[in-house]
Amino acid sequence: MKFNPHTHRLFTDDGRLIKRLACAFQVDWSKLEATEDLAARRCDRCQHAVTDTALRTEAELLALMAENPQACLKVNLSQENLTLTYQR
């Protein structure tokens, strides 16, 4: 995956947009409620599940966004499956 920290957009390696990340709450991952799914936690402020992109494939994230475009994603700039990009 590729992430542009300036535009907050997450892309597949072949350039397909997964999601533009925007969260009004910016709640720390450690403060989110744990769920049965180790790759997701629940935000009590917006009541959405937040999925950790480090634990999902691009295909899984694309499917998640197709099913629920409002789904929230967590990106850690140092995760192994992520490359930073500055292309617009």
User: Tens place of pLDDT for every residue, the chain, 88 residues?
Assistant: 999 999 999 999 999 999 999 998 999 999 999 999 999 999 999 999 999 999 999 999 999 999 999 999 999 999 999 999 997 6
- For the whole model, what pTM was predicted? 0.91
Q: Is 23 helix (H, G, I), strand (E, B) or coil?
A: coil
User: What pLDDT was estimated at residue 88?
Assistant: 65
**CA triplet 83, 47, 32: central angle to 5 degrees?**
55
User: What pLDDT was estimated at residue 16?
Assistant: 96
User: What pLDDT was estimated at residue 87?
Assistant: 78
